[in-house]
Amino acid sequence: MTAVPPLSSDDQPQHVAIIMDGNGRWARSRGRPRTFGHREGVEALRRTVEAAGALNLAYLTVFGFSTENWSRPKDEVHTLMDLLRLYVQRDLDRLVREGVRIRVIGERSGLSADILRIIETAESRTAQNTHLNLTIAFNYGAQNEIARAARRVAEDVARGALRPDEVNEASLGARLDTAGLPAPDLIVRTSGELRLSNFMLWQAAYAELVFLDILWPDFDRAALEAAIDEFRRRERRYGGASRHAGS
């Protein structure tokens, strides 16, 4: 592989979030069960975390399991739970050494005790790391996240810690699972689907969206760089005037 210099210019996204989609179709096209696609998807995740580190991205967030994915067949749900165990346990020592900080966002209730323990261990063992912030959205749904944040706001108001007139974007944002993380600059979805599927609805307010036709198990550094190249061609306006519109 040719050496690509790390990204360095100002238009580098600070935070890239990825909806890792297409494992099932990748497996089906090979005549294999969907779970085979999920296993290959973990390899793609390993490659992507390594590439993100090499490209000096500060924040990488990946969507691994949605609150809606419980509706899948039992054995598939089981495999997806196993793969989180496998990924975090097998890679944790290396991620600790490489300076990766792990966070897991999403609904914790409903996850088994051993998964909760694995998540807590990964978060605490990497809490001091600063090279790459890897956030795994697991049992995550944006509407669920916003509803839980609203519940915290209500509880704080009820006990007098927050006044109703202090409820605003900042105080609600500070009660989301992503508190302390910058909003994603770039959200990438693989597999050609053109939707967010309940991913980071609040945080996506001004994200650039890039949809790739590649299926997740085929994702690699070149695909990540292609998405970032596309991001660099976009003009972000945040509701302001176009730079090209004249005055």
Q: Give Cα separations from 168 to 138, 147, 153, 181, 247 (angstroms).
A: 27, 15, 10, 18, 33
Residue 65 contacts which entry, Mg ion, ligand IPE, none (Cβ below 5-8 A, type-dependent):
ligand IPE
Enter the tokens of residue 3: 């050496």
Catalytically annotated residue among 69, 129, 144, 198: 69
- 214 is a contact residue toward Mg ion (CB under 5 A): no
Enter the tokens of residue 222: 């070149």
CB 31 to ligand IPE: min, Å: 14
Helix (H) or strand (E) holding 158: helix 142-158
Q: Give Cα separations from 59 to 166, 241, 242 (angstroms).
A: 29, 28, 27
Q: Which residues pair with 191 in a beta bridge?
A: none
CB 27 to ligand IPE: min, Å: 8
- C-beta closer to ligand IPE: residue 39 or 232: 39
- 208 is a contact residue toward Mg ion (CB under 5 A): no
Query: Quick check: is 69 catalytic?
Result: yes
- C-beta closer to ligand IPE: residue 39 or 148: 39
Catalytically annotated residue among 10, 21, 165, 185: 21
CB 21 to Mg ion: min, Å: 4
- C-beta closer to ligand IPE: residue 122 or 136: 136
Enter the tokens of residue 202: 């609040």
Query: Quick check: is 21 catalytic?
Result: yes
Contacts with ligand IPE, residue ranges (CB under 6 A): 19-25, 34, 63-66, 69, 80, 191, 193, 195, 197, 216
E strands of the chain, at which residues?
15-19, 59-66, 100-105, 132-140, 186-189, 208-211
Coil, strand or helix at 59: strand
How far is the C-alpha of 216 from the C-alpha of 219, rounded, in Å? 5
- C-beta closer to ligand IPE: residue 83 or 118: 83
- 145 is a contact residue toward Mg ion (CB under 5 A): no
- Full strand arrangement of the beta sheet holding 15-19: 100-105, 132-140, 59-66, 15-19, 186-189, 208-211
No. of helices (H) and no. of strands (E), the chain = 7, 6
Residue 126 contacts which entry, ligand IPE, Mg ion, none (Cβ below 5-8 A, type-dependent):
none
Residue 16 contacts which entry, ligand IPE, Mg ion, none (Cβ below 5-8 A, type-dependent):
none
CB 82 to ligand IPE: min, Å: 12
**x-or-dash string of contact with Mg ion, 9-28, rule CB under 5 A:** ------------x-------
- C-beta closer to ligand IPE: residue 65 or 87: 65
Contact residues: Mg ion, CB under 5 A:
21
Give catalytic residues, as residue numbers.
21, 69
